[in-house]
Amino acid sequence: MRAFTKKATKYLVSVLIAYALLVTVHEGEFWPFSIYPMFSQAGNPWTRALVRNVSDVPEKQLWEVSNLDNLYGQPIALSEYGVDQIDFANFISKTENWDQGRLEAIPHMFGREHIRNQQLMIMSVRGRLTTQDSVVVQAFPVILVKADTTYLNPELIDISNIKSQ
């Protein structure tokens, strides 16, 4: 059994070396290996995304920034469209250049047949700690989606403008 321990230890350590090398050259992640960095950078502002049905919202109100507790329109549950909210948030927040391909990807995620005659507003939601020890969460309208077309917020050239606000 001692020979077994020696052999098992050798393989365990070999995997550990491979683990260390892979996570070192792949920014901490090479599934199933990871350095587990989740929540390691505390206090940073965050950006997520949500969707509202704005079919009945007056046009002049469509592109207004709002707080999370007074959002206009009706809530849309992404799970009902089979869309993962984390993927969706990343797609919205990490896209820097809203070219035609990226804009088209959004109705593709929802399925055009499911949008029908609805008008969906994609909102980028940003949270941060204030100096007064409170959390501020604001929703910025980014893209209006209809079954046949998408509109980028006219005041924004790209999402980076939102990040700087």
When binding is defined by CB under 8 A, the residue of 65, 137, 160, 161 that contacts another protein is: 137
Question: What torsion, rounded to 10 degrees, do the Cα atoms 121, 75, 123, 131 define?
Answer: 150
Q: Which stretch binds another protein (CB under 8 A): 54-62, 81-89, 141-149, 156-164?
A: 81-89
- The whole-angstrom separation of Cα 112 and Cα 105 is 11
- Interface with another protein includes 42 (CB under 8 A)? yes
- The whole-angstrom separation of Cα 162 and Cα 154 is 12
Element (H, E) at 164: none
- At closest approach, how far in Å is the CB of 57 from another protein? 16
CB 144 within 8 A of CB 119: yes
- Each residue 95-134 as x (binds another protein by CB under 8 A) or -, in order, gives x-----xx--x--xx---------------x-xxx---x-
Q: Which of 67, 57, 68 is closest to 121 using CA atoms? A: 57
* Residue ranges that bind another protein, judged by CB under 8 A: 1-2, 4-5, 7-9, 11-12, 15, 26, 29-43, 46, 48-51, 68, 75-80, 82-91, 93-95, 101-102, 105, 108-109, 125, 127-129, 133, 135, 137
